[in-house]
Amino acid sequence: MEAASLHKRVVVTGLGVIASLGHNVADFWASILAGKSGVTKVSLFDAKDYSCQIGAEVRGWDATQHMDAKEVRRNDRYTHYGFCAAKQATADARLDMSQEDPERVGVIIGSGIGGMWTIEVQHKVLLERGPRRVSPFMIPSLISNMCGGLVAIELGARGPNFGVVSACSTATHAIGESLRMIRSGEADVMVCGGAEAAITPLAYAGFCSMKAMSTNNKNPEQASRPFDMNRDGFIMGEGAGILVIESLEHALARGARIYCELAGYSATCDAYHITSPDPEGKGLSLSMSRALADARVTPADIDYINAHGTSTPYNDKYETLAIKHVFGAHANKVLISSTKSMTGHLLGAAGSVEAIISIKAIETGEVPPTINLETPDPDCDLDYVPNVKRRAQVNIVLTDNLGFGGHNASLVFRKL
């Protein structure tokens, strides 16, 4: 690989999202700027015996309106979300595969948990009706790489294709590794991001047993409150965020509309604990610093940070510490928000949904708020854009994510 290829410029040309706050980018972004919460009582199963009974579900959406009914039956909800968000993104990018070399179009879509609903439903079938009644589609439906496989089949894309699984950093890694594929010359175009549908009985039971989720069941819309003194855990969300990225020269050659440049990426590990982030923020600090270096920008160049901001006691405190380590005096000037206060935590899809928010902030010059920030935590003392959006000049954005296992990932987006 020639050294020059490591800095081939890569741009974003397509966006697609399905989430609790909207089933397309326009509706989703309007809800984000309005400071709406997508959190309600869980309706997908009876949660009355759970310590957490609330979540950010995708409601009023019918997958059969967007994909073949047979494929809907054969695939898990996480795949429905990712496949349909990918269709949005490729349509938005006006990607015409008849004009592309299919061997140079790739797909990397990840899921932190994969087909959890399929596992639970088919396990019940096994127990109640025996092994012969388990669906022959169970395995392809539940595996975490299947969404990317189906998207590639739909497009006829024969370029780089694999799944990423790194808990809550999954989608950020998927986008970052796609960036590297284009820089290395292995692809011209990549469809990338994450999808998740883990609002299920077993997943909730597991997270509730960890005491990781909020128990503020009486006030769903106020339960996710990153950086607030009274935060008590995360709220699970579901959905998908998908990006189309391509080399700048390829985008210009086909006359594509360009949102912004994807300028930097880094992946690191805390090597500290399976669930708790490093209390000194070392791994996240390194990830942020390396992403900035990869983008060839300085901390003072960053206008906005879309934080991981899970609304858990440890994450928000240690993430704030990491920002201070990396940004120094500029930490008090940069605008920061956690949009999980509105979307809930989409686990393996969080990073791509938040990347879309970061891109829209650059496009519109509007910084989304951190809602429910009413009682500031003394350990979280930066400008988190509390409760109301803010107009600002947004040229360069950093977004970061952390995942169980100590996985950290950061992206830098820049206005062209």
Instruction: Report, as residue numbers or ranges, the catalytic residues.
Output: 168, 308, 345
Q: Which CA distances in Å does 340 have to 36, 37, 404?
A: 11, 9, 17
Residue type for 175, please? I
The CB-side HSE value for 415 (13 A sphere, CA atoms) comes to: 14
Name the token pair of 284: 């996240």
Phi and psi, residue 219, nearest 5°: -130, 70
Distance, in Å, from the CA atom of 18 to the CA atom of 124, rounded to the nearest integer, reads 28
Phi and psi, residue 280, nearest 5°: -100, 0
Distance, in Å, from the CA atom of 188 to the CA atom of 350, rounded to the nearest integer, reads 25
With a CB cutoff of 8 Å and minimum separation 6, the contacts of 396 are: 263, 295, 297, 301, 302, 303, 362, 412, 413, 414, 415
Residue type for 390, please? R
Q: Which CA distances in Å does 97 have to 67, 103, 336?
A: 18, 11, 38
